[in-house]
């Protein structure tokens, strides 16, 4: 099932999948307007907002909202597993662990140094969902690739598993292959950046538990 979905979706990438474009949505928990999509089989939402939407951006704010059944969720910023920046995330207690990775073969991706990732305060875990909201700096270029923000054809791939990583406390944990995955075209372009990127970050970082500052 997972295999088929990965393979067929990738083969279909230049066909009908292109017709599905991402949409703009505002997360009520943080007020940030993301460009993204929800996979309707796994109910995982992937959102992105860039400072300007130009190729000079080297950072973005992203979020991954996942049902607790998914024990890790990863994204491939270059659209495929190999030779691309991967961001793998999983819930751990009340928080979410993040792990930038890189794979040169179809085996456990290694930790990748370079990105500076900051979990933002609207990151939450509850009984049904976990949500990782993050700032990803130095995240749009990597060894051998980059996100092309000006393309109407940029591709985001995702993979996830219902099997937990070996040691959820450790960002360098080993884990087994995905149980599902697919890809989506044009997730990054936004028709409107309704909330200034820097303002979103500042507002999020200033957020205190009682929301007194806001």
Can you give the binding site for ligand HEM, defined by CB under 6 A?
3, 6, 10, 74-76, 80-82, 86, 88, 101, 106-109, 157, 159, 175-178, 181
Max intra-chain CA distance, the chain:
50
Name the residue nearer to ligand HEM (CB basis): 96 or 157: 157
**In the complex, what is the shortest distance from the CB of residue 158 to ligand NAG, in angstroms, rounded to a whole number?**
14
Q: Cα separations (Å) of 7 from 12, 73, 179?
A: 8, 18, 13
Tokens 């703009």 correspond to: 24
Q: How far apart are CA 114 and CA 194, in angstroms?
A: 29
**In the complex, what is the shortest distance from the CB of residue 95 to ligand NAG, in angstroms, rounded to a whole number?**
14
Residue closest to ligand HEM, measured at CB: 74
Residue 120 binds which entry of ligand HEM, ligand NAG, none, CB below 5-8 Å type-dependent = none
Q: Is the CB of residue 72 less than 8 Å from the CB of residue 160?
A: yes
Name the residue nearer to ligand HEM (CB basis): 30 or 158: 158
Binding site for ligand NAG (CB under 6 A): 13-14, 29, 42-43, 65, 67, 114, 124, 126, 128-129, 131, 138, 142-143, 153
Task: List the beta strands (DSSP E) in 50-154.
Answer: 59-67, 72-76, 86-92, 95-102, 110-111, 116-119, 124-125, 129-137, 141-142, 145-146
Name the residue nearer to ligand NAG (CB basis): 29 or 192: 29
């Amino acid at each position: 099932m997972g295999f088929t979905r990965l393979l067929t979706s990738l083969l279909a990438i230049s066909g009908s999948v292109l017709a599905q474009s991402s949409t703009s949505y505002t997360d009520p928990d943080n007020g940030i307007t993301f460009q993204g999509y929800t996979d309707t089989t796994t109910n995982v939402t992937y959102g992105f907002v860039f400072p300007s939407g130009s190729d000079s951006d080297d950072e973005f704010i992203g979020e991954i909202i996942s049902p607790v059944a998914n024990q890790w969720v990863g994204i491939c910023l270059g659209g495929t597993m190999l030779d691309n920046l991967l961001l793998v995330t999983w819930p751990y207690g009340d928080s979410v662990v993040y792990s930038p990775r890189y794979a040169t073969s179809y085996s456990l991706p290694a930790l990748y140094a370079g990105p500076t990732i900051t979990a933002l305060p609207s990151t939450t875990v509850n009984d049904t969902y976990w949500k990782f909201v993050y700032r990803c700096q130095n995240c749009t270029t990597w060894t051998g690739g980059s996100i092309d923000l000006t393309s109407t054809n940029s591709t985001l791939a995702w993979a996830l598993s219902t099997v937990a990583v070996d040691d959820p406390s450790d960002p360098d944990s080993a884990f087994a292959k995905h149980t599902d995955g697919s890809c989506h075209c044009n997730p990054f372009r936004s028709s409107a950046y309704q909330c200034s990127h820097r303002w979103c970050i500042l507002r999020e970082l200033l957020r205190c538990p009682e929301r007194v500052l806001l």
